[in-house]
Structure 1
Amino acid sequence: MSWLFGMNKGQGGGQLPPGFPPPPGSGGDSGGNDGKTPDKSRSDAYTFDSAALERAAQAAKTLERSAHAKDALELSKMQEQTIQIENQKKIKEMEGQIEQMKLEQARVMEEEKRKTLREETKLSQQKSQYQDQLARKRYDDQLAQQARLNEENLRKQEESVQKQEQMKRGSMEYQAELNHKNDMKRIEAELRGKAKIDRENQDILKEQIRLRAQEDRKTRLESIKTAGAVLGEGFKAFISDWDKVTATAAGITLAAAGIYGAKYSIGVAARYTEARLGKPSLVRETSRITVLETLKHPIKIGKKIFKKKEEVLSGIILKPELEERLRDVAIATSHTKKNNGFYRNLLMYGPPGTGKTMFAKNLAKHSGMDYAIMTGGDVAPMGKEGVSAMHKVFDWAQTSRKGVLLFVDEADAFLRKRNRELISEDMRATLNAFLYRTGEQSNKFMIVLASNTPEQFDWAINDRLDEMVEFSLPNLEERNRLVRQYFDKYVLQPAFEAKGRLKVAEFDFDKKCTEIAEKIEGLSGREISKLGVGWQAAAYASESGVLTEAMIDEKVKDAMKSHEKKVIWQEDHSIYTTADQRTLSQKAASMVIPKAPAVPES
């Protein structure tokens, strides 16, 4: 609006809006004033210009006469309203910012209050913990002090008892010494009195001894004379009677024949009884029922006889393809037993604890045969008796009406290669006896061998085997099934019994078994079974008897550490064994061994 009031900085006029005529006397010059121009030295200062007022008045009059006066006024009002609206908007924004600042301040104060409350809570908890620690320490100090008092009292009691014992021992020793002195004095007095009596009666004693010796000599001479006369007369009468001589000779002959006949007949009867009713010394365990066992445990034997036949893989968890193959073996063995056919010998090899012995027992029970278990380690200590003991085993097996499944565990202990530097002469003879008895197929017994190192077998043993089955360590699926089976057997079932002390904490059993199966890679079935027993023992050893996840994880960790150590030992042993075999091979190659006489083989 500078053009309206004529106030400007340095110049006295302004520019009119478009359509307005210029004010009179302006001459279109923005800086003119009736030909008067302000001084150049004051061009940059604020001055009062009277001509401007005149121009403003003239402009107002012109504006009133103009057709656009109302529009200009409305435009000025609208500009003023716009400015007021903008100012109000700025005021509202300032008020909003002030409210926002108040809210932010309130939020900061609330946050500070919360922090203060948290710090107070933390300080309170720390104070409570500190007080609890102080209380526990006081209680521990009281217990320690009580223990020291108990130990002091116990020590004083022990010292008192020791003093009493020493006093009692001293009194007894003193009494024993007095008794000893009295006894010595009494014995000395008795000996002196007896010696004095013997010296006084020496002549009488000598006379009595002499008379007694004469009487004894006369009695013996008369007895000898009488016996000689009687024997002489009897021998003369015996010689003169030929019938008596013949009868005596026949009686002596019959007596000798009876003695020797009884001796040999008793031996034959004993061997027959041992083969029929007893158990050979090499057989560790058998399901064959003996008369002696029946008399000892009739109820147990009755339950065993009437027990139902179980599935051949009952309680055994293996890989599906291995289970299928073992079922085929069990079916073939069962049908062979029913049809009185010839049994096929079987070799089961693989790491220990993978179920070989369990399957051998179940195979015998499923097929209706008797099983007998022997170990290869029992053969070597028998020495020369090993051959006869081996024949007794097969003679005993031949007498079975059901047939015998002879399971030889750790068979490589005595069925190894017939090398003079590896096995002794007695062991070689026992091996030859085994080969002789297994040279042909039999319908009386079935041989099942189990070994961890079948490569050590003698080549003749491999020739006797009809089928070989490898038992490997369980994979993830089998480990999962084994863990669940033994967790149920050793933990859940005892926990559900009302009389049992074992309890189980609240956790997801299914998830836990899956997690354990993933951790115990490399463990055998026997090791997993021992792991289940370890869980049970941990629960029994705890104060509350509750088995927790932490206890289970601890036992799993210990089992894996033990397994890793076993693996290291096994690797060291295998390296050592390989080195020994290499050394023996080099030694045998460098030596010239003379030919030994041929050993007959089956």
Structure 2
Amino acid sequence: MAEAEGRAHEAKLAEEVNRRMLVDRANAEREKWVAAINTTFDHIGGGLRAILTDQNKLVVAVGGLTALAAGIYTTREGARVIWGYVDRILGQPSLIRESSRGKYPWSGIFSRAMSSLRNGDKTSSKNGNGFGDVILHPSLQKRIQQLSGATANTKAHQAPFRNMLFYGPPGTGKTMAARELARKSGLDYALMTGGDVAPLGPQAVTKIHQLFDWAKKSKRGLLLFIDEADAFLCERNKTYMSEAQRSALNALLFRTGDQSKDIVLALATNRPGDLDSAVADRIDEVLEFPLPGEDERFKLLKLYLDKYIAQAGSRKPGLLQNLFKKQQQKIEIKGLTDDILREAAAKTEGFSGREIAKLMASVQAAVYGSESCVLDPNLFREVVDYKVAEHQQRRKLAGADGDRA
């Protein structure tokens, strides 16, 4: 018993000794840091006193700090101004949504070369007419091909270009036709939308002038396509048009007053009657894009069947893309004949090209939603019937909204 008490007492004494050693060590460390801090502040204070008491040193110190701050500010603001100037002179205008030209003159050379090598033979074989994925009524298709040839010859002879107006319901291929027309004519193209002009407010006039200055620098000539043109090129007598919109319209009219050898202006609208009379006066060619007929709908169904169904899961060029992107599952097509596609073409009367593309995308989604990943006539007809009913319901809703308005 006495031996146990002695051991406990010894342990308690050892613990007390260790605690005191830790406290002493912490106090010594604290005193060392306090001394170091005091020494540092003494040096700083001494330096400040030396500067404040010596007028020459004070002037040098203040001048050095001022020069350093001015240098940092000047460098930052100068770089910002220089980059803004370079971007304004060489860069792509903010109004442009899509362009065959790069953002800067040197950035589009490689991409254009690779695109031409990749797509040189592909676009001519899709529908057998050398006009890419654009499937239109034969008479309209022929007219656009004539325009592309005439535009190419106009460019070769340095004659003024002719401006164009594309009108028709949404999704009928106006944008795709403009893109293909520029490609077949050997021109660059740039796409913008009229709805982007109004939010610019007072800056709209400046942006319009920058846009045309940029477009004129294209050595190949440029087709400027303005989608939803009626959004800012509507009649100037409209009461709801703001002063900024009116000024933007006047700026565009000023830049298009004479026929140009550098720019083809192509406007697209669903409501051609809303365009300002001065805008309509600048148009040389007017093309109507109607809803596709039954034969065009059949061709569109075949085109998008190949694009969304037959080619789904096939390997695409690009090693990095194949490594880092999950590959789509291959879809098996069973019993889907041309007669079934013609039946669907007859059912989809009133569909635009875009709606047919969405229909085939819905077919793809339905196939991926099934267990077998097989497209058969029953599943295809089921999706077509559903989309036709949905289309009719939308038309009823649109008609009801129009009656209320």
Q: Same fold (TM over 0.5)?
A: yes
- Of 80, 89, 92, 1:275 maps to 89
Aligned pairs (5 A) from 1:13-92: none
Q: In the alignment, does 2:97 pair up with 1:284?
A: yes
Q: In the alignment, does 2:295 pair up with 1:477?
A: yes
Counterpart of 1:304? 115
Displacement, 1:535?
1.3
- Of 341, 346, 349, 2:167 maps to 349
Give, in whole Å, the separation in 2 of the partners of 1:571 and 1:414.
26
Displacement, 1:370?
0.7
Q: Which has more helix, going by share of residues?
A: 1
Alpha-carbon distance change, 573 to 433 in structure 1, aligned in 2, over 3 angstroms: farther
3-state secondary structure, aligned to 2:159: coil
Give, in whole Å, the separation in 2 of the partners of 1:499 and 1:379.
39
Question: In the TM superposition, what whole-angstrom CA distance separates every residue of 1:66-92 from its partner, at most 9, and x where no partner exists?
Answer: xxxxxxxxxxxxxxxxxxxxxxxxxxx
Structure number with larger C-alpha Rg: 1
Counterpart of 1:501? 330
Question: In the TM superposition, what whole-angstrom CA distance separates every residue of 1:546-566 from its partner, at most 9, and x where no partner exists?
Answer: 112221112111211221122
Counterpart of 1:544? 372
Give, in whole Å, the separation in 2 of the partners of 1:324 and 1:285.
26
Counterpart of 2:245? 427
Displacement, 1:225?
9.6
Counterpart of 2:205? 387
Alpha-carbon distance change, 265 to 442 in structure 1, aligned in 2, over 3 angstroms: farther
Aligned pairs (5 A) from 1:271-420: 271=85, 273-276=87-90, 278-291=91-104, 294=107, 300-304=111-115, 306=117, 308=120, 313-419=131-237
Identity %: 40
Displacement, 1:435?
0.8
Displacement, 1:466?
0.7
Q: Match of 1:563, as an amino acid?
A: H
Does the 8 A contact of 1:280 with 1:392 survive in 2?
Answer: yes
3-state secondary structure, aligned to 2:298: helix
Does the 8 A contact of 2:332 with 2:375 survive in 1?
Answer: yes
Give, in whole Å, the separation in 1 of the partners of 2:145 and 2:54.
87
Alpha-carbon distance change, 300 to 547 in structure 1, aligned in 2, over 3 angstroms: same
Give, in whole Å, the separation in 1 of the partners of 2:116 and 2:338.
39
Displacement, 1:226?
5.4
Displacement, 1:542?
0.3
Displacement, 1:271?
3.4
Counterpart of 1:520? 348
Alignment RMSD, CA only? 3.5
Counterpart of 1:462? 280
Give, in whole Å, the separation in 1 of the partners of 2:239 and 2:401.
19
Displacement, 1:494?
3.6
Question: In the TM superposition, what whole-angstrom CA distance separates every residue of 1:184-217 from its partner, at most 9, and x where no partner exists?
Answer: xxxxxxxxxxxxxxxxxxxxxxxxxxxxxxxxxx
Give, in whole Å, the separation in 1 of the partners of 2:247 and 2:374.
57
Q: Match of 2:114, as an amino acid?
A: K
Displacement, 1:536?
1.4
Q: Match of 1:381, as an amino acid?
A: P
Counterpart of 2:338? 510
Give, in whole Å, the separation in 2 of the partners of 1:551 and 1:541.
11
Aligned pairs (5 A) from 1:167-316: 270-271=84-85, 273-276=87-90, 278-291=91-104, 294=107, 300-304=111-115, 306=117, 308=120, 313-316=131-134
Does the 8 A contact of 2:292 with 2:353 survive in 1?
Answer: yes
- Of 555, 578, 582, 2:383 maps to 555
Give, in whole Å, the separation in 2 of the partners of 1:476 and 1:224.
91
Alpha-carbon distance change, 575 to 440 in structure 1, aligned in 2, over 3 angstroms: farther
User: For structure 2, which runs of at least 5 residues remain unmatched after alignment?
Assistant: 1-45, 60-72, 125-129, 316-326
Q: Could you tell which deviates more after superposition, 341-350 or 474-483?
A: 474-483
Displacement, 1:339?
1.6
Does the 8 A contact of 2:192 with 2:225 survive in 1?
Answer: yes
Displacement, 1:572?
3.6
Alpha-carbon distance change, 458 to 496 in structure 1, aligned in 2, over 3 angstroms: closer
Give, in whole Å, the separation in 2 of the partners of 1:281 and 1:390.
10
3-state secondary structure, aligned to 1:288: coil
